[in-house]
Structure 1
């Protein structure tokens, strides 16, 4: 059995740490960018969070599971936040940097 570096009195104690709020942590990475006179919300997706295959609108190629990428959606849409979120797209990081051709 492997040796533990924690004393027996500390095992099983919460030590007063609060639970991590993943939404709060990931929201800090979201940023707003302006492209072509429009504002966009851009949020990175880590390789560990990338679980599905998406089609990149920049190159038309697949964004495979396990590949870090970006999600972008309009920040200034006239139809409201729900419509903007529904129209979000997953981009390769490189494709987003060079922009839409």
Structure 2
């Protein structure tokens, strides 16, 4: 079986980077209680979530932030299980601070 070439042909146009794809890359940020959280921006799904910052619903299809603690007492898998969906503005304003 012949190996498939993965390089683009010489002279082919450059494919620009889709910067919007970088928004979904998980990042580590300081969150509630000064703990480190993994934060990921999502485009929105088909389910309604309640934002823990303002206690209002996040409508289906609404872009928002998903955050989970990196410092869970029972390990990283437990932190991921306890992830929460936040309005992007609530997370960025740090509404957990009170």
Runs of 4+ off more than 6 Å: none
User: What corresponds to 2:91 in structure 1?
Assistant: 96
Q: CA RMSD in A?
A: 2.1
**Counterparts of 2:5 and 2:49, CA distance in 1:** 40
SS in 1 for 2:40: strand
The size of the alignment, in residue pairs, is 77
Query: Which runs of structure 2 are paired with 1:1-101 in the superposition (5 Å)?
Result: 29-35=25-31, 36-47=33-44, 50-99=45-94, 100=96, 101=98
TM-score, normalization by structure 1: 0.67
SS in 1 for 2:90: helix
Give 1:33 shift: 0.4
**Counterparts of 1:16 and 1:56, CA distance in 2:** 46
TM-score, normalization by structure 2: 0.69
Give 1:78 shift: 2.1
Question: Structure 1: where are the runs of 5+ without partners?
Answer: 1-14, 18-24
